[in-house]
Amino acid sequence: MNIKFSNLKFNNLVYKNNPKKIIIHNADSYSCSVYDIDRWHKENGWSGIGYHYFIRKDGTIYIGRPENAIGAHTKNHNSTSIGICLEGKFMVEKPTNIQINSLYELISDIIQRRNYMPIYGHKDLNNTNCPGEKFPLEILKNNFKVDSSLNGFFETFEIRKNATIVGKGNIQVMDNKGMFIPGRYIESLDRVFVLGIYPSYKHIEVIYPAKEKNYHAYISIDMYSRLKFDYHMEYKNDSGITYVWWNSKNVNNGIHDEELESYQKASPMYRENNWLRITFYRKNGVPSDGFVRYEGNQEKNFYN
């Protein structure tokens, strides 16, 4: 996640924001910067940019107001919300894929730090069409919705891929309770995004394609051998033991969860908070994964 400090100068901010929700906006401009919006809002007589974050079309996230400062973006909700604005005019254009990925990562980070908060579009709370008809608001809400009826199966805007399904036959997908979902399959040679391998739950968390859409679901851990990662077993540990953490937030902060043996190989999956997530086999032959602090001397730069 690429977050930049804007170094904006504000006038008389009030630090009494108590966020209970996240509100999404569009800038209603094809091209603008965080500094443009700051200038526009100051011309309105405000303290500065009214949003707490601004995401450009290239995916770069800029910090606006501090999260604990009351915003200026949604009438009657500025003291109980975090406002996020995306560059673009979403009544006539769609946000970029990298922009949406950055939004997803930013919201995930906010929720991890502050606990769950519901997501709203500006139009849900005020008389406006913001963030626009072409913004995938309902998909975004479903990605972060606390609803046991979903059980981890839902449509998602995640478009990253890191593996291919190999071997013969379809793979039936499951919910997070291990129940097969009727009529839902991943086909051989489908490109998927593997988020995590969870041996204790005996399932693998994936994003898979179906009818021009992408869905979040799970497959049995028994299907691990049918995953050919883009960097399949290209991570090579050196002569020492390498520590592995299950949560990227815990890397360097506490006791590690697993270890890679000397010269053990693994498959890189993606990066989160700049830490590389890899998947590997434990000594007992069970697949697992986690984040590594030390990458050693690799022949490639994985997901940089």
Domain count, the chain: 3
Same structural domain, 93 and 132:
yes
242 and 280 fall within a common domain:
yes
Same domain flag for 21 and 86: yes
**283 within a domain of the structure (yes/no):** yes
**217 and 139 assigned to the same domain:** no
Task: Identify the domain boundary among 114, 143, 172.
Answer: 143
Residue 153 clears pLDDT 50, i.e. is over it: yes
Q: What's residue 276's pLDDT?
A: 96
302 inside domain: no
274-293 pLDDT, tens per residue?
899 999 999 999 999 999 99
Residue 259's domain comprises 235-292
CATH code for position 29? 3.40.80.10
Clarify whether residues 123 and 167 are in a common domain.
Answer: no
pLDDT digits (tens, 9 = 90+) for 51-65: 999 999 999 999 999
Mean pLDDT of the 121-132 span: 97
300 lies in some domain: no
| Rounded average pLDDT over 82-87 | 99
CATH number of the domain that residue 206 is part of: 2.30.30.40
For the chain, give the secondary structure using H, E and C: CCEEECCCCCCCCCCCCCCCEEEEEECCECCCCHHHHHHHHHHCCCCCCCCCEEECCCCCEEECCCCCCCCCCCCCCCCCEEEEEECECCCCCCCCHHHHHHHHHHHHHHHHHHCCCCEEEHHHHCCCCCCCCCCCHHHHHHHCCCCCCCCCCEEECCCCCCEEECCCCCEEEECCCCCEEEEEEECCCCEEEEEEEECCCCEEEEEEEECCEEEEEEEEHHHHHHEEECCCCCEECCCCCEEEECCHHHCCCCCCCEEECCCCEEEEEEEECCEEEEEEECCCCCEEEEEECCCCCCCCCCCC
Residues in Cβ contact with 284 at an 8 Å cutoff, skipping those fewer than 6 apart: none
Average pLDDT, the chain: 94
Supply the Cα-derived Rg of the chain in whole angstroms. 21
Report pLDDT for 152.
Answer: 82
297 is a domain residue: no
**pTM of the predicted protein model:** 0.64
pLDDT at 100 exceeding the cut of 60: yes
Per residue in 173-218, pLDDT (tens digit) is 999 889 999 999 999 999 999 999 999 999 999 999 998 889 999 9
Task: Please tell me whether residues 184 and 216 are part of one structural domain.
Answer: yes
Q: Tell whether 55 and 126 lie within a shared domain.
A: yes
| Tens digits of residue pLDDT in 5-15 | 999 999 999 99
Give the pLDDT mean for 78-87: 98
Which of these three, 143, 177, 207, is where a domain ends?
143
Tell me what the mean pLDDT of segment 113-126 comes to.
93
Provide the Cα torsion 259, 303, 135, 218; round to 10°.
-40
Encode pLDDT of 212-268 as tens digits.
889 999 999 999 999 999 999 999 999 999 999 999 888 988 899 999 999 999 999
Q: Is residue 172 part of a domain?
A: yes
Q: For residue 148, what pLDDT is reported?
A: 44
Q: Has residue 133 been placed in a domain? A: yes
